[in-house]
């Protein structure tokens, strides 16, 4: 009697276990080992750099109480909302400036001047215009996502091959057909790059909004609460969550971008 055949999946086929990802995890693991050793050997005061198990215990307590999901859900909600608004407006604005020479002459100089302003410099203005509540945080995240998306959309439209544009003229394409069949396919790689960058900037802006604006639910608020109580386990837990979520968002965006652009391979 023969044993039944069991279908196995090669480890390398799993994207999260790819050689590139495994190499990227080497340095973080070494840093965690150094962190743990430094805390236990008293090379660093544990009150300032608590051991990993203390952070894990704090994390479990936050999960058990439900506070961690509350803070993480609030951060992701305002992040994704602001990112979606900023991306849609960025693509629309980028297409307008890329396709309309008149709009580029009128609004282009102002946009290129405004993009040089540090994102954090918008916080006082947004706070005056929209207050300090949730709306202001979402607007700030949207501004952070808007700039890279709009900029890459403009560059993508400008990179459309002249040969294709001339062919569309010969075939007497309407403006809508020219946008749908020439400009958008040519600009898609650049637009996706802008969206990818916008997602990263939006997450950074989410943390900044929670930290510098009114304290409320969110990972930034969790870190502030730990700082005020001098509970470094809570502060470091927030920092670890910020890094993990940022890594996951970047990884998901990379996979989606690769899938949408697989026709280029």
Percent of the chain with pLDDT over 70: 86
Question: Would you state the structure tokens that stand for residue 140, as one six-digit string?
Answer: 């700030």
Domain ranges of the chain: 52-264
pLDDT, residue 79, reads 93
Query: In a 10 Å sphere around its CB, with 0-12 CB exposed, 13-18 middle and 19+ buried, how is residue 25 labelled?
Result: exposed
pLDDT, position 196 = 92
* Whole-number pLDDT of residue 129: 87
**pLDDT interval class at 20 (50, 70, 90):** low
CATH of 52-264, one of 3.40.50.300, 1.10.3720.10, 1.10.8.420, 3.10.580.10: 1.10.3720.10
Q: How far apart are CA 255 and CA 209, in angstroms?
A: 28
The pLDDT of residue 5: 47
Q: Are 238 and 226 in contact (CB under 8 A)?
A: yes
CA distance 51 to 33: 10
Q: Which residue has the tokens 């495994």?
A: 22
In 3-state terms, what secondary structure has residue 245?
A: helix
pLDDT exceeds 70 at position 8: no
> Which residue did the predictor score with more confidence, 12 or 221?
221
Q: Which is more confident, 48 or 232?
A: 232
Q: Nearest-CA neighbor of 157 among 177, 189, 184, 176?
A: 184
Residue 62 has pLDDT above 80, yes or no: yes
What pLDDT does 235 receive? 87
Three-class secondary structure assignment of 183-197: HHHHHHHHHHHHHHH
Whether 1 has a pLDDT exceeding 70, the answer reads no
Tens of pLDDT, residue by residue over 172-197, are: 667 777 777 777 777 888 899 999 99
Which residues, including other chains, have CB under 8 Å from residue 249's CB and lie 6 or more apart? 199, 200, 203
Q: What is the CA radius of gyration of the chain?
A: 23
Q: Nearest 5°: phi and psi at 172?
A: 55, 50
Q: Between 169 and 257, where is the model more confident? A: 257
């Amino acid at each position: 009697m023969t044993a039944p055949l069991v279908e196995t999946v090669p480890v390398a086929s799993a994207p999260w276990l790819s050689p590139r990802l495994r190499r990227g995890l080497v340095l973080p693991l070494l840093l965690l080992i150094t962190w743990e050793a430094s805390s236990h050997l008293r090379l660093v005061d544990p009150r300032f750099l608590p051991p990993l198990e203390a952070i894990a215990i704090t994390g479990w307590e936050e999960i058990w109480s439900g506070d961690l999901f509350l803070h993480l859900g609030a951060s992701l909600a305002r992040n994704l909302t602001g990112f979606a608004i900023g991306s849609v407006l960025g693509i629309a604005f980028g297409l307008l400036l890329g396709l309309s020479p008149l709009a580029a002459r009128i609004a282009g100089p102002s946009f290129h001047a405004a993009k040089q302003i540090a994102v954090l410099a918008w916080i006082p203005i947004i706070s005056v215009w929209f207050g300090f509540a949730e709306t202001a945080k979402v607007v700030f995240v949207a501004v952070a996502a808007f700039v890279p998306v709009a900029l890459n959309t403009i560059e993508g439209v400008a990179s459309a091959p002249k040969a294709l544009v001339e062919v569309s003229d010969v075939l007497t394409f309407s403006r809508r057909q020219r946008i749908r069949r020439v400009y958008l396919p040519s600009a898609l790689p650049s637009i996706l790059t802008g969206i990818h960058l916008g997602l990263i900037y939006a997450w950074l802006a989410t943390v900044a909004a929670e930290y510098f604006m009114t304290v409320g639910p969110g990972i930034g608020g969790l870190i502030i609460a730990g700082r005020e109580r001098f509970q470094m386990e809570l502060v470091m837990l927030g920092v670890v969550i910020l890094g993990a979520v940022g890594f996951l968002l970047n990884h998901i965006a990379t996979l989606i971008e690769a899938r949408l652009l697989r026709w280029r391979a």
